[in-house]
Amino acid sequence: MTDAIDLLPDGVVVADGEARVTAVNAVAARMLDVDPVEALGKRLGDVLALSDHDGEAWTVANDPYVGLRTRTAVPEQTWLLPDGTEVLVTARLHRGERVGPVETVAISLRSGRGRARLDRDRSDLVATLAHELRSPLTGVKGFVHALLNRWDKLTDEQKKLMLTTAGADADRLSRLITELLDVARIDTGRLQLHKRPTDVGLRATRVVESLTVVSSTPVLLEIDEDLPKVDADPDKLIQVLINVVENAMRHGDGEVRVRVGIWADDPSYVAVTVTDEGEGIPAELRKRIFTKFWTAGSAGGSGLGLYIVNGLVKAHGGTVMVDDRPGGGARIVTTWPVHGPGTDSTG
């Protein structure tokens, strides 16, 4: 058994019904600073040198041989190794009979660094989302207070500008909340699509018009004539277009181009190609940009946009491709299945 448990990535210590150690794998031996052969036959408490911050031993706090006869496990807890390193410890209690005495105790020790990294990632996520939510909310509050306090002193043009900007910030808040909900639905496989014949060109026009109102980045839109409609959820299609175009406006330089046309590789799809004039995306990063919370540079963002783009496009049966724009910059292509008699539009 020792050879087999040496292959496990976590530390393992096994003791019999008399609390005598019967096996220690190589990982546990390194963690506990013991010789795996010399440890055999010793008392479990002498080998399993784990303590909490108050100095209490694991075997004292969680004595696996006493307590309820129905107990079958010790839940995962954080304990300290002799050198002060944190480890995650859990145990299984094996009984010959359902309520009989414990005959074997198998204890697992896992490095706490992964948990610490996860906690840091979660803290970073909370901080990022708080910043992303606070920025537009601050704008909305500022303009609303200015309108309330200075209504009689503002011109109609100033009022219109403030309301337009506040409305754009409110839309940004709404989109971020929608993104968070969609991430949860994509992760759990509960994403619902309401497909119907949809005009991609019309949606692309609306997206470009709405984004250029609040940005100085020029966006050139090209739409092929006589495009067929695609089978898509119009709201999700718009969400994808907004994320891709905003990404190009945020991370690229110069002009952004959006082209809507039949996909050259397969005429049963309509392709939306968005290019920028920035530095492009290195080949080694092109898969990572579609992971959750991936951001690059100092342009900001929640890091959710392209993850959602990938999830939504694939849910429609389309594809997402990233490569270089001829002449420099990045190019992102999303494809959407053309609506036809055999297309399922109930999804």
User: Taking a C-beta distance cutoff of 8 angstroms, is the pair 140, 163 a contact?
Assistant: no
For residue 300, pLDDT over 70 is answered with no
One domain, residues 134 and 59: no
Please name the residue that has the structure tokens 């907004």: 242
Last residue of a domain, one of 111, 129, 145: 111
Last residue of a domain, one of 160, 188, 216: 188
For residue 273, pLDDT over 90 is answered with yes
How crowded is residue 302: how many other Cβ atoms within 10 Å of its Cβ?
Answer: 21
How far, CA to CA in Å, does 276 sit from each of 128, 261, 299?
Answer: 25, 18, 15
pLDDT at 47: 95
One domain, residues 259 and 159: no
The dihedral over CA atoms of 203, 205, 208, 214, expressed in degrees to the nearest 10, equals -100
Average pLDDT rounded to a whole number, residues 202-211: 93
Fill in the amino acid letter for 67: G
Average pLDDT rounded to a whole number, residues 288-297: 69
For residue 262, pLDDT over 80 is answered with yes
Give the confidence band of 301 by pLDDT, cuts at 50, 70, 90: low
User: Taking a C-beta distance cutoff of 8 angstroms, is the pair 35, 29 a contact?
Assistant: yes
Here the CATH number for the domain that contains residue 25 is 3.30.450.20
For residue 345, pLDDT over 50 is answered with no
One domain, residues 166 and 262: no
- Helix 200-213, helix 234-251: angle, nearest 10: 40
Give the confidence band of 187 by pLDDT, cuts at 50, 70, 90: confident
pTM equals: 0.57
Here the CATH number for the domain that contains residue 278 is 3.30.565.10
For residue 11, pLDDT over 80 is answered with yes
One domain, residues 247 and 159: no
Phi first, then psi: give them for residue 341, nearest 5 degrees: -55, -35
Average pLDDT rounded to a whole number, residues 256-268: 95
Average pLDDT rounded to a whole number, residues 269-275: 96
Of 286 and 240, the structure prediction assigns the larger pLDDT to 240
For residue 115, pLDDT over 60 is answered with yes
One domain, residues 205 and 331: yes
**Model confidence over 72-107: pLDDT tens digits?**
999 989 899 988 888 999 999 999 888 899 999 999
